[in-house]
Every structure is written in structure tokens, then in C-alpha cells.
Structure 1
Amino acid sequence: MDKVQICLPVYNGEQHIRETVETLLSQTYENIEILILDDASSDGTLEIVQELAATDGRIRIERNTQNQGILFSRNKLFDLCSERYIALADADDLYHERRIEDQLHYLKQHQLGMVSCAYEAFGERSYKITPPEYHNDIQANMLLFNVILNPGVLLDRTKVSVQHCYVDPEYRGAADYDCWIKLLNKTRVGCVPSSLVKYRVHAAQESTGNFERQKEAHLRVLAREYRALSLPFNRDALQTLIWPRLYADTLSLEDFKKLGSFLKGLFAEVDKSQIPAKNTLSFALDIRYKGVARRHGVKGVLLYLKYAGLKRLLSGRKMGMSFVYDCLFRK
């Protein structure tokens, strides 16, 4: 039975680390090593993991002599790994007992270099996310937003060089996104459709705080990828599509027209491109565009028809009638 090393960085995680590690120790796939890297915690984290390690030899503890940050720790963990299969975990999330078993089976069955999984968020917000399952659809969706859950990743080092998994501090705030979007060009990636991670949402997360840094890094990744694919890039338009709750509600009619004009050109370039799942990307763009158009009522329908066209409208749910109804009767 192949051993799976689970990389677990932690800093001042005494509140949740015990529960997290216990869910990893309870895996049905028992041949694991939980490689914990303590980033010079100043609370009781180290004592807790040492106590757990004293009762289970599958826990290995390493420690930074001074606080280095999550990106440094993540890269160091990859350097410390020696096994073929590596899984990632975060110190405040919970893991389904079949996580490793199901992911390893899926990875081998589909001959992939990396897998992630569906997940359920809990804590300050609750929701469930089921990302696209197959490589081309994942890659297409990544041209808008990150659909790969970092603490749900499991990879095969015979198909993925560890160096390709390093996170780049230049993209702090969206370093995982940058890493995985690059990796999609190096190996085949899939997503187990079962929910195998309970992802804790709280205010201290990078993804919750420091939003401006996250947004700027995300858009820099997108700009690079769009250039590489010869796709037009418009920062204002794309940030409206990606974060509609922040930007779409205050979008003027004139700016909505500019968004439509940009998307008309982007749709055309996507259709001409060699992107393997270009229909998936067009669909994702269309869904986001409709979400913005709904905020403009009747004018939203008319401008959608002007820039996206009748054919695209009719290809939607109930031949576009659901969208039209929402626009006309939006409260």
C-alpha cells in the first residue's frame, strides 16, 4: 500500500489543530504520514501536536525557528516530502474519513497528476461547492476564478514535479491560484465530485481579509494567462464578472455598455481559440454577464441581446426565458 504524506502547515492554531489532526488520523486509508510544520507558533499549538504525536507514530513534526509565513512553509513542506503521493491540508479545516482513500483511487483510476474535491464551507458562512470534475472544464473555469480547493489537493510526484507546486510570493493573496493555473499546463487534473473537506470560513483567513491584495494578484494572473492565449483583457470588466456583489450593483448603464462591448469581443476570440473547453469558458462568461444584466431590468435584456446576441440567449435555460423573466420582474 502506497504511503501518502499529508502536508500540514500551522501557525498559532491551538483553537482548531487538534480537531483537524484527529480527522486526518481517522482516515480509512491508514498508510499516511502527517507532516506538520509549525511556523514558530507562540500559543499552545506545538504542545498540542506533540501530545498527538506521542500517541500516533504517523505524525512527524518539523518547526521553523522563526515565523516565516504560509508561503514559505508550504514550499518547505514540499521539500521535506519523500513519498510519491502528497496531500495538502490546512490547520483549521476538517476532513472526511474517506478523503485520502477516495482521492487516491480517483487519481490512479483516471491516471491524473493531481486531484482536488468538492467541499462544504462552515463557520461564518455555510455553502457547498462542487467544482468541474474534468481537466478541460477545470482549466476553462480557471480563466475566471480558482476552482481548485488548496486543502483538498492530492498529487502524484511521478507526474508532477515538486518545483511546479511551489507558490510564488510575487502573487501573495492568490498564490494558490497562480500555482494551480500553471500546473494545469503540466499535468492532467481532476476533481472528486464527493464533498471530502469541511472548509472553515473565518475572518482571519487570507481569502477573507486583505481582499485588495487578493484581487490585485488574481487579476495579474488573469492578465498573464489572457495574454498567453491572445484573449482581450479588460481589468474593470473582468473584476465586475468575478466579484459582481462588489462591482455590479454600482455599475452605471454606460459602464454596463462597455462591459457588453468587451464581452462581445471576448466571446468572438474565445470561439476562434484553441482552448480545449472553450464552450465551458463561454458558458461561464455568459452566466456572469447575465447576472450583471439582471440588475438593469429591461435595459439589461436589450443590451444583452445587442452584445451577446439572440443565439446565445436562446441557448440558455428554458431558451433564455428564465433570464428574461428575471430581468423584467426583478425586485
Structure 2
Amino acid sequence: MFLSVTSGSSRSVVLDMSINSEEKISVCLLTYNHVHMIEETLASIMDQSVDGFEIIVSDDCSTDGTWELVQQIAAGDERVRAVQPPENRGMPGNANYAVEQSDRPYIALLHHDDIYRTDLLERWVDVAERHPDVAFVFNAYGFEDTDEVHVHPYAERVDGRQFLEGRLFSGWGCPVRGTALIRRSCWDAVGGMHTQFNLLADVDLWMRLAARWAVGYVPEPLISVRQERPEDYPESYSEFSWFRQRMLYEIHAANHLDYYDLSTLRGALAWWRFRGRLSADIFKWLTYAVVRRQKRMLETSAEGASEYEWASIGLVRNLYRKLGQMPLGWREPRRSR
């Protein structure tokens, strides 16, 4: 039996009520060059408290033995299916490829370097089943070897538009760390991940989903985050970079333009607020570079230039870059080994 639930003109989702919730889940685990972690991560997934789910491990053409190890694990557990795109596609391309291999109603999008509590899938699906207008469910996060927990004051069901406007649009951070249970019909409706946004494509995805549907939340640390990065992890994502900031600006701009009608007063005000916040953020980082004598930040600051910044920001950038050429005791860039 199929049940269609509608909570707005563009918020219809379809649920297959004829199968158990466990059998609706496709775990899509994205891997790349994490041979030293993947076995423990997979073990935490295979030890879940529910049965009937499948595990699709999509390896993005690893070169360190991850792919070979995943194949060995898959050969010993019928729930695990190892797949690999024909070429390295980056995180969003690999995510899209993994989801293409599945036909189940729920996608549990997971990553290769976290540890998952045994009731993760059970808790996620419970929220999704009880709130059929929810597009994705996420949770609080713990951090390995520490007592630190990131918990947010959200209800179990959060109005998507309030979440988008009040949280995702209001700052440059994102409370969702890239792991979530996603309703497949909603994933398909928005077209999956946009690959042009690279490792930040999940931020764009949460925005597009929240614009149309509600959001689910579990206020418990169901995931333990491991912060270790491989040696070839892009510096532009592991530390500050203008490239990463510009990517965030582009994601926010694209979603503001899709979400708001700029011909209305509300839309126009939201757009000008966004441009003001963007300009203030660039000014903040430029000023930080000068105060902290970060020469490389000034030398590469043009990489953060946005077509949406105020014209005055370009003048400030040029002035600060000229300061960076003066003998003022600047810190030289670290040399890679």
C-alpha cells in the first residue's frame, strides 16, 4: 500500500507502507583513501539494532587499499555491496553515484571516518516514519576521545523554512555535518547533490531540501566524529581558504535567489541583507589577515572575491594587499614538506 502525504503545494512525498521500515533503508557509505579507518566504521554500521537494511559502499577510486579491503568485507557479509564509479568524482559525485545504486525509500548518507551508535538507523527512521513531511533527519554529534557534544535546541520536527531562514541562511556554519537520513523521493525531487559545490555540496543540499519540506532532529550524539584527515585531504577544506569561503558565498547566493522573490519587499530586503553579511564577512577576514600578519591570506584574497560583495570591499582588498607588500613583519606561508 502506498500513502501520499501533502503539506503544501510542493511538499508531497510518497511512502510505501507495505514493507517494514528496516527494509526501506539503503546505507550509502562514501569512502576514499581511509583504509586505516574503514573497517571500524563499517563494523559500527553492520552492528545496527535493526535488520533488513542494505549497505552500499561507494569507493571513489581509492589508491591506498581502501577499495580492496571493502571488497573483502563485502564478500563476507551479504548486506554489504561494494561499488565504484568509473573515475574519481569527488564527494558529491560519489554520493550521487551511490544513491543511483539504490531503489529504497530511505537513504542513510554516511562517511568513512565516523563511528555510528548502534541505534542510529532505528532513531532516524523512527522520526521519519512519524513525520512523513520530513525530508531529512540529522542528530547531535559527539567527538572521539572527548566529552564534547554538539547539541542544538531543535524540536524533533522543525519547520523547514524556519530552519532555512533562521539557521542556514543566518550564518556561514551548518549544523548538519554531511550525514543524515534522506527521504529518497525528496532527494530525487531536488536532483541530488550539485557537484559544482565540491566538498560543500551537502550544505547546498540541506538548503534546497529545507526550502520545501520539514526537517527531523534527534538530540542525542548518535555519531562520533573522528577528526583525522588523510595526507592528501585538500588544504582548502581542512584550514581557512578563500576558495572555501567563496564556495559558501555561491551556495548562499544560489539558494537565496531560488528561495526569495526579489520583486517583493521581503525578497529584496533578504537579498540586500545577504549581500551585506557577505561583504562584512570578507572584510572581517581581510582585517584578520592584516592584524595577524597573515601574508598568504592577503596574497590569495582575490580568490575570495564575489560578484555579490559591495564595491567598497574590492577597494579594501586592494589596499590591504598593498600593505602586504610592505616590510611590516608578515608571517611567511608555511612550506609543504
TM-score, normalised to structure 2, is: 0.65
Rounded to whole Å, the distance in 2 between the matches of 1:106 and 1:60 is: 26
Q: Please tell me whether residue 194 in structure 1 is matched to residue 220 in structure 2.
A: yes
Distance 1:233 1:82, change over 3 A: same
Of 164, 188, 192 in structure 2, the residue corresponding to residue 166 of structure 1 is 192
The amino acid across from 2:135 in the alignment is G
Aligned residues: 248
SS of residue in 2 equivalent to 1:108: helix
Give distance in 1, aligned partners of 2:97 and 2:194: 13
Partner of 1:65: 86
Match of 1:47 in 2: 68
Distance in 2 between residues matched to 1:24 and 1:84, nearest whole Å:
18
Q: What whole-Å deviation, never above 9, does each CA across 1:118-145 have from its counterpart, x for those lacking one?
A: 111337x874222334235422200123
SS of structure 1 residue aligned to 2:223: strand
Distance 1:242 1:195 in 2: 33
Question: Which of 233, 244, 267 is equivalent to 1:214?
Answer: 244
Structure 2 letter corresponding to 1:122: E
Distance 1:226 1:30, change over 3 A: same
Q: 2:135 aligns with which of 95, 113, 117?
A: 113
What is the letter of the counterpart of residue 167 of structure 1? M
3-state SS of the aligned residue for 1:174?
helix
Displacement of 1:15 in angstroms is 1.0
CA displacement, residues 302-329 of structure 1 (integer Å, 9 cap, x when unaligned): xxxxxxxxxxxxxxxxxxxxxxxxxxxx
Structure 2 residue 163 is the aligned partner of structure 1 residue 138? yes
Alignment of 1:1-331 (within 5 A): 1-2=20-21, 3=23, 4-111=25-132, 112-122=134-144, 127-131=148-152, 132-133=154-155, 134-136=158-160, 137-139=162-164, 140-143=166-169, 144=171, 145-151=173-179, 153-158=180-185, 160-164=186-190, 166-204=192-230, 207-209=237-239, 211-227=241-257, 228=260, 229-230=267-268, 231=270, 232-233=272-273, 237-238=277-278
Moved more, 177-186 or 222-231: 222-231
**Equivalent-residue separation in structure 1 for 2:283 and 2:191 (angstroms):** 27
Residues 243 and 165 of structure 1, relative CA distance in 2, 3 Å threshold: farther
Alpha-carbon spacing, 1:250–1:47, altered in 2? closer, same or farther (3 Å): closer
Alpha-carbon distance between aligned partners in 2 of 1:239 and 1:95, rounded to the nearest angstrom = 39
CA contact (8 A) 1:75 1:166 kept: yes
Letter paired with 1:148:
V
Following superposition, the deviation at residue 217 of structure 1 comes to 1.1
| 2:90–2:198 contact (8 Å) kept in structure 1 | no
**2:159 maps to amino acid:** H
Unaligned stretches of 5+ residues in structure 2: 1-19, 261-266, 292-337
Q: 1:80 to 1:11 in 2, by over 3 A?
A: same
**2-side partners of 1:148 and 1:118: how far apart?**
9
Aligned residue type for 2:163: I
1:54–1:186 Cα change, 3 Å:
same
Secondary structure of the equivalent of 2:107?
Answer: strand
Please tell me the root mean square deviation across aligned C-alpha atoms, in Å.
2.8
Which residue does 1:275 correspond to in 2?
none
- Distance 1:51-1:130 versus aligned 2 partners, 3 A rule: same
**CA deviation after TM superposition for structure 1 residue 234, in Å:** 5.6
**Could you say if the C-alpha distance between residues 181 and 48 of structure 1 is closer, same or farther in structure 2, counting changes exceeding 3 Å?**
same
SS at match of 2:175: coil
Give 1:170 deviation, angstroms: 2.3
